[in-house]
């Protein structure tokens, strides 16, 4: 549908070798992307996926490098690799993520869902900002969990394994997915020449992983009963399972829409703009989270 806006362009995507990332990558290559640069943390899975993509498409249209979003030094190395090889990044797709994990911290000491889903992607986006035309952030309808509480900066700043009392994997996930939306909006405010957008894909990646289908980071960090509570029971039909291809369609749409059709700094669901919860509209929260991410990643910039 938007092939003319994909053809000849350079895309960078994290977490491309599992779940929605697989179908997103295939769609971009099928529609004529000149290069898709994939970033993931598992060498064997990444190598196998790159080999598969090179065999299915022209070998010179696929590139990749390791990135561990829970390790800011690794994020910097990936960004250095991309910056050294590419003059322009037409679209950066912040696709990788974890969900509903047990209490834990990243290598740099951040609560791991916030650290991987938000802070790691923030640093990557900041390091590539001078070459990036558009950022696509994968958020989730999960930003509405618990009626959508606002971002809790005190929780983000003070969480540790010594201070984990009352930790909830779903609350931490809600905060990280809310964080994706807030940071995406603030990036456009501070860098008006960079188009940003966030989106909800679908619940499918988790459920397919349980069914023996696609092996996803999300599927490895939650369980069936827990996910049913948040991703199935009580949700309207259009928020329930989709095929992986359908789940990736909103990502591809947001990456490919012409600038005059894209709702810049907006939130998308089912390939169309959709109104996010009020917790994702607070401008003070956008600035506070952005400033915090900027401060804690400064030594890697």
Q: pLDDT tens for residues 69-117?
A: 999 999 999 999 999 999 999 999 999 999 999 999 999 999 999 999 9
Higher pLDDT, 284 or 212: 284
Angle at 183 between CA 182 and CA 184, to 5 degrees: 95
User: What pLDDT sits at residue 244?
Assistant: 56
| 173 catalytic per annotation | yes
Query: Active site residue: 173, 267, 268, 292, which one?
Result: 173
User: What digits encode the pLDDT tens for the residues 210-249?
Assistant: 343 333 445 445 554 455 444 444 444 444 444 556 668 8
Measured between alpha carbons, how far is residue 17 from residues 46, 48, 120, 149, 264 in Å?
6, 9, 18, 32, 27
- Exposure letters 211-237 (e unless 16+ CB within 10 A, then b): eeebbbbbbebbeeeebeebbeeeeee
| Segment 146-151 mean pLDDT | 91
Instruction: Give the pLDDT of residue 144.
Output: 87
| pTM for the structure as a whole | 0.90
The domain of 143 spans 3-300
- The pLDDT value given to residue 219: 46
CATH number, domain of 30, equals 3.40.50.720
**Lowest-confidence pick of 118-122, 128-132, 138-142, 263-267:** 138-142
pLDDT at position 212 is: 34
Which of 72, 56, 54, 73 lies closest to 64, judged by CA? 54
> What percentage of the chain reaches a pLDDT higher than 70?
84
Backbone angles phi, psi at 89, to 5 degrees: -115, 105
Starting at the earlier edge strand, list the strands of the sheet with 10-14: 62-66, 35-40, 10-14, 89-94, 132-138, 195-200, 266-269, 272-273
Average pLDDT over residues 269-297: 96
Q: Which of 20, 19, 21, 1 is nearest to 11 (CA)?
A: 21
pLDDT of residue 110: 98
Question: What is the pLDDT at residue 252?
Answer: 94
What is the reported pLDDT for 214?
32
Tally of structural domains, the chain: 1
Per DSSP, helices labelled H in 86-152 are: 112-114, 121-127
pLDDT tens for residues 11-46?
999 999 988 899 999 999 999 999 999 999 999 999
pLDDT higher than threshold 70 for residue 205: no
The length of the chain in residues reads 301
Q: Say if residue 148's pLDDT is above 90.
A: no
Three-class secondary structure of residue 225 per DSSP: helix
């Amino acid at each position: 549908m938007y092939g003319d806006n994909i053809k000849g362009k350079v895309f960078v995507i994290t977490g491309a070798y599992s779940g929605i990332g697989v179908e997103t990558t295939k769609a971009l290559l099928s529609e004529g992307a000149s290069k898709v640069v994939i970033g993931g943390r598992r060498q064997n899975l990444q190598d196998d996926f790159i080999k598969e993509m090179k065999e299915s498409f022209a070998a010179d249209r696929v590139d990749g490098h390791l990135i561990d979003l829970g390790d800011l030094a690794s994020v910097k190395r990936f960004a250095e690799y991309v910056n050294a090889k590419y003059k322009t990044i037409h679209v950066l797709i912040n696709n990788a993520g974890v969900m509903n994990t047990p209490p834990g911290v990243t290598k740099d000491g951040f609560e791991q869902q916030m650290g991987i889903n938000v802070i790691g992607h923030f640093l990557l986006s900041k390091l590539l900002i001078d070459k990036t035309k558009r950022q696509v952030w994968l958020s989730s309808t999960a930003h509405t969990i618990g009626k959508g509480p606002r971002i809790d900066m005190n929780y983000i700043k003070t969480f540790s394994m010594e201070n984990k009392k009352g930790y909830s994997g779903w609350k931490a996930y809600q905060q990280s997915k809310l964080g994706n939306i807030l940071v995406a909006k603030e990036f456009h405010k501070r860098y008006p020449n960079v188009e940003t957008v966030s989106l909800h894909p679908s619940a499918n990646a988790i459920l397919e992983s349980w069914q023996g289908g696609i092996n996803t980071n999300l599927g490895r960090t939650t369980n069936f009963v827990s996910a049913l509570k948040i991703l199935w029971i009580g949700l309207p039909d259009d928020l329930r399972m989709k095929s992986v291809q359908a789940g990736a369609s909103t990502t591809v749409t947001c990456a490919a829409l012409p600038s005059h059709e894209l709702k810049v700094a907006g939130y998308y669901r089912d390939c169309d703009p959709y109104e996010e919860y009020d917790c994702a509209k607070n401008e003070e929260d956008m600035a506070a989270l952005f400033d915090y991410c900027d401060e804690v990643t400064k030594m890697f910039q």
